Structure 1
C-alpha cells in the first residue's frame, strides 16, 4: 500500500493520508472526536464495482484507521456508514454523472464517556444508538492538532 501525507481541504474534510485507492479525511463535523471520511479515489458508486485491489486496500485501511484512532483518542468502538444518497438529493438526473461523487465511508468513533483532546471536551450522548448528524465545528488550530496526532500515530502503522 503506497501512502502519502498531504495538506488539502476537500468537500470531505482535511486530507490526512492518500493511498493508491483511498483518501482519509478528518471530517468537517466533529460531533464525535476523530470522525473521518474514507473516500475511494475512483468514480465507483457501488460496492459491487470495487476492484480486488480496492477491497484489499480498504481491508488494510479499516484495521489501520481503527487502530490509529484508538491510540489517538481512545474511543470504545466505531460505527462505519456508507450513505451515497446525499449526493443525489437535489437533482438525481443532473447528479448521476457528477464527477465529484465518490463511494465513501463515514467513520464515527464512539465514546462511552466524555473524551478530552487538548482540553476540549467531546461528549457522545447518543452512545449505544446510531450516530447523529448534529453539527460540531472546531477551530482550525484544534483540527490541525487532531490531524498531526493522527498522522503521528499512522506512521507507526504504515
Structure 2
C-alpha cells in the first residue's frame, strides 16, 4: 500500500471500520423506526461505536493511523479556511490555511476530532493548539470552546 501500511493490515482496518459504519447505519435505522433517535439512549449507543473507533486509533498509533487515512483517501488534516473576526482564534493569531495539528496534546485528523476536543474538558481553560504553517509548527494558547474558524478536511501525505 502506498501509504506505508502492509496490505493485510490496511484490509483489516478497513473491514473493522466498515463494520462499525454498518452498525451505525443499522442503529440509526432502528432508532428512527422505534422513535428513540436523538435520545440519551441513541447518544450512548453512538458513543459506544465512537469508543471502538478510538481504541483502534490508539492501538495503531498516530503514525500508522495517519498513513491509513491517507492511503484510503480520507481526510487526515484539518485546514483552517477562514478565521472569524474577533474570535479567540483571530486574537491568538491563527491564520487562514493553517493546519490544525493538535489540540490539548491530541492529534487532529478530521473535523470531528476538532469538535470533540473543543467541547471536552473545562470551558474557557487555556488549551494548546498546535498548527502547521509553511511547514513549521506554531503553538497558540486559546480558551477551550469555540475557536471561531471555518475548517475543511483534506488528505495530505504524512
Tell me the TM-score range normalised by the shorter chain: under 0.3
Q: Which structure has the highest helix share of the two? A: 2
Q: TM-score normalized by structure 2?
A: 0.25
Q: TM-score normalized by structure 1?
A: 0.25
Larger Rg: 2
